[in-house]
Structure 1
Amino acid sequence: MFDVLVYLFENYYTPDACPSTDVLTKRLVAAGFEHEDISDAIGWLYGLAETTEQSGELSDMSATSTRVYANFEQLHLGPEAIGFLCFLENSGAITPALREIVIDRAMATPDAPVSLEHFKIITLMVLWSQEAEVDHLVLEELLTDDGAKLLH
C-alpha cells in the first residue's frame, strides 16, 4: 500500500490531478502494483477524503491545544511516530487539525506500531491531499529515512 501512495505522490501534483478510480487502478496495475496493494491504497485514500471532509469542526482548534494520546493510540502509533508528530507540530509544519487527520490515517493502517518510514509517508500524503504549503526543510525530513530517500 505504501509504495502505491508514494507512486501517487511522485506522479500526481495534486489529488485533483489523479484520474478516476477505474483509470487509476488500470494505471497502477500497468505500473506493476499488486491488486491488493492498490485496493488498500485506494481504500485508505477514500478514508482520507472522508476524514478531511469531517475535519471542518477541527479547524476551530487552538494552535496551543495539547494532544493527550489514549493508550491504544500510543501502542498503535509508537513513540517514534508520536515524537515525529510533535516535532512537526512544534515546528509549525502542521496545525492541530492536520495532526488529527494524520493520527486518524495512521490508526487506519494495520502496522502496530507504525514504522517511522510509513508514518512519514502518511504525513506526506495528508499534506499532499490538503495541498498544504510545506517548508523545504520539513519536506526533506519527510522524504528521508535515516539518510535514505523514501521516494523511488
Structure 2
Amino acid sequence: MMMDILMYLFETYIYSDAELQINQDELEDELLRAGFDQQDIYKALVWLEELTELQQSEAHSAISVCSTSSSTRIYTEEELDRLDIDCRGFLLFLEQVGVLNTEMREMVMDRVMGLETNDFELDDLKWIILMVLFNVPGNESAYTLMEELLYAKEQGVLH
C-alpha cells in the first residue's frame, strides 16, 4: 500500500536523518527488496514529488488566504468519503490549537486526496500531517507538537 511506503520512507530517510542524497533507482531497488510493489513505489514517489511542488508553490504564492479562526471548511463529497468524522474533528482540533493554519490544512487535504486508497484512518491522517509539516520550513514547533500527538496514542493519550 502506498501509505506504508510513505511511512517507511519518512521513518527511514527523513525522521532518522539518514542520508537523503540517494539515487532514485537505488531507492526503488531498496523498496522492492523491502517487499513493496513496483506500482505502489512509483505512486508514492510521485506523491512525495507533488508534496515538494506544493510546498514550493505555497512558498512562492502571493495569494493570501483568509485564515481567521471564524472561517469554516466545507468538505466536498469526495473529501467526506475519504475523511471520517474523527479525521475531520482532528483537523479542526489542530487548527484550534494552532498546529495547522488554513494554508497548511489545505496542503494536508491536497496530499490526503492525492492518496489512492479507500482505507484511510486517523493514524494515516496524522502521518500525512507530520510529513506536510516537516516539508514546510518555519513550522518546527507545529511539527514537534504533531509528533507528540502522533505518538501519544502509544502512551494512552487521546486528542
TM-score, reference length from structure 2: 0.75
Code of the residue aligned with 1:11 in structure 2: it is: T
On the 8 A contact 2:99/2:145 being kept in 1, the answer is no
The 8 Å contact of residues 12 and 18 in structure 2, kept in 1 or not, is answered as: no
Root-mean-square deviation (CA), in Å? 2.8
In 2 relative to 1, CA 25–113 (structure 1 residues): closer, same or farther, beyond 3 Å? closer
Q: Flag the 1:108–1:91 CA change in 2: closer, same or farther, 3 A.
A: same
How many residues are aligned here? 147
The percent of aligned pairs where both chains have the same amino acid is 35
Residues 77 and 137 of structure 1, relative CA distance in 2, 3 Å threshold: same
Report the CA distance between 1:58 and its aligned residue. Answer: 7.5
Structure 1 residues 15, 129: CA separation in 2 closer, same or farther (over 3 Å shift)? farther
- Pick from 30, 34, 45 the counterpart of residue 37 of structure 2: 34
Structure 1 Cα separation of the partners of residues 21 and 36 of structure 2: 16
Q: Between 90-99 and 4-13, report the one with greater CA deviation.
A: 4-13
SS in 2 for 1:17: coil
**Larger RCO (alpha carbons 8 Å, 6+ apart):** 1
Q: TM-score, normalised by structure 1?
A: 0.78
- Residue number in structure 1 paired with 2:55: 52
Larger mean CA deviation between 84-93 and 66-75 belongs to 66-75
| Unmatched runs of 5 consecutive residues or more in structure 1 | none
Q: Specify the alignment match of 1:130 in structure 2.
A: 136
**After the TM superposition, which parts of structure 1 deviate over 6 Å for at least 4 consecutive aligned residues?**
none
Give the number of the structure whose alpha-carbon radius of gyration is greater: 2
